[in-house]
Structure 1
Amino acid sequence: MIEFKNLSHNYKQGNELIQVLKDVNLKINFNQTVGLIGPSGSGKSTLLNILGLIQKPEKGEFKIHETSTNVLNEIQITKLRREKIGYIFQNSQLLEDFNCLENVAMPLLLNGLSKDESYSRAKKMMEEFGLKNKLYFKPSLLSGGESQRVSVLRALIKKPLILLADEPTGSLDQKNGKLVMKYIFELAQQFKTLCVVATHNLSFVSNFNICYKISNSKLYKL
């Protein structure tokens, strides 16, 4: 389970202090798909950054498995982030100097798995999800939809506790957007991963187990 307790966060815009999150309280079990709805600037990305241990909340507490992340040092946070959290961004952010197989295998290599085992798992995953013919392509040769599908596999190959997706279909057409979300839902369910997706696309709302809206710095369950 993850838990937010009285979580608040601000950021500066020039000389003005903007409150993006105020007194957020939330408990979510793993093996769920969670939608996070709200317009640009509403605080969706900030909430994902706190969930992903990229930012610390200014006030309040964030717990993973009853452990407060507030008390973890940078080494512990980095280890937790590397081993237990996966990320998908609006733009795939694949490493251009590496082919698709190498990109998908990268998280396993960084976590100490052998090169042979990492590549074997990555190859199997890509074949299962219809990317067998793209194994040795560089990212620059992929379409937008293919590139984002590769980034989904890269994020989930280490079977993370938490998957965070920030507008993962924002740069895709409707067909490719649906396919990418299908990948995310199927793999999150397979690996029993808590999947949190920030999106402004309301057509996906019915696919989530739970959906929240951020409005006026508050979190509301839909």
Structure 2
Amino acid sequence: MGINLLDLIEISHNYNQGNEIINVLDNISCKFQDCSNIGLIGPSGSGKSTFLHLVGLLEKPKYGKIIVDGIEVSSFSLEQKTLFRKKHIGFMLQNNQLLEDFTSQENVALPLILNGHPYKESMKHASEALQDLGLKDRLKHKPSLLSGGEQQRVAIMRAMIKKPKILLSDEPTGSLDIKNSIIIIEYLKNLAKVNNTLCITATHNLNLIKYFDICYEFKNGQIFEKN
């Protein structure tokens, strides 16, 4: 049993579209534990990406509070949010955004280096992490020489190498077939348990629902647990 890591309290968020106000999230409250692999589903525009942006401190909710590990992070200054993201939040996208001129090992080591860790130590940790994901023979390969599934595994480890409290993934399997999609979700589940990380993944692929610990559906500005 994990501990409560993320609390969203009466969160509302909206956008102006011309003269119309679009309510994306309407007074939602929910709690998430560490070591959990959470799925988010719902049609485009239902609030999944907005939810990730709010939790990732990329946007501030119009109303409500976001609490991470007992700290109200939604009230942080811009500088505090930047520092918190850098240390405690990882991001993974459908377009993995690996640096094309860097090897797999260098891509994974980069977050550690940017956080002030020594270069040699960072490269060593990156090598060990990639080997754990079955990429021992791909350490020196640049992204263009990797398959789609291999690129996503590198992206996973780049996001997880600093052992963030929260990993946010937006359609990380969108360009993969179902076999490789399941592999990626299983990797996330295992890494969540090992690193005590809360992994939250938005997806359109309903075939993946059963591979999450819990899945939530976004509909009409609300969030519902999906059975």
TM range (shorter): over 0.9
Matches within 5 A, 1:7-86: 7-86=11-90
Matches within 5 A, 1:163-182: 163-182=167-186
Amino acid at match of 2:116: G
Give 1:110's match in structure 2, choosing from 110, 114, 123: 114
> Aligned-pair distance for 1:69?
1.4
Give structure 2 stretches of 5+ with no counterpart: none
2:133 paired with 1:129: yes
Higher mean Cα deviation, 66-75 or 112-121? 66-75
Relative to 1, partners in 2 of residues 1:77 and 1:173: Cα closer, same or farther, differing over 3 Å? same
Amino acid at match of 1:169: T
Higher mean Cα deviation, 11-20 or 189-198? 11-20
Give 2:162's match in structure 1, choosing from 158, 164, 187: 158
Instruction: Work out the CA distance in 2 between the residues paired with 1:131 and 1:169.
Output: 18
Instruction: Work out the CA distance in 2 between the residues paired with 1:134 and 1:50.
Output: 35
Instruction: Work out the CA distance in 2 between the residues paired with 1:26 and 1:65.
Output: 14
Q: What percentage of residue pairs aligned between the two structures are identical?
A: 48
**SS of equivalent to 1:28:** strand
**SS of equivalent to 1:190:** helix
> Aligned-pair distance for 1:207?
2.1
2:144 paired with 1:140: yes
TM (norm. structure 2) is 0.94
Higher mean Cα deviation, 178-187 or 42-51? 178-187
Q: How many residues align?
A: 222
> Aligned-pair distance for 1:71?
2.3
> Aligned-pair distance for 1:152?
0.5
Give the conservation status (yes or no) of the 8 Å contact 2:165–2:197. Answer: yes
Instruction: Work out the CA distance in 2 between the residues paired with 1:26 and 1:212.
Output: 10
Q: Deviations over 1:63-120 (max 9, x none)?
A: 1122111321122111110111111101111111211111001111111111011000
Instruction: Work out the CA distance in 1 between the residues paired with 2:16 and 2:149.
Output: 35
Give the conservation status (yes or no) of the 8 Å contact 2:185–2:211. Answer: no
**SS of equivalent to 2:85:** helix
Higher mean Cα deviation, 67-76 or 167-176? 67-76
**SS of equivalent to 2:152:** helix
Instruction: Work out the CA distance in 2 between the residues paired with 1:201 and 1:106.
Output: 30
Instruction: Work out the CA distance in 2 between the residues paired with 1:15 and 1:190.
Output: 48
**SS of equivalent to 2:97:** coil
Instruction: Work out the CA distance in 1 between the residues paired with 2:211 and 2:194.
Output: 16
Amino acid at match of 2:21: L
Higher mean Cα deviation, 1-10 or 11-20? 11-20
TM (norm. structure 1) is 0.96
Aligned structure 1 segments of 4 or more residues deviating by more than 4 angstroms: none
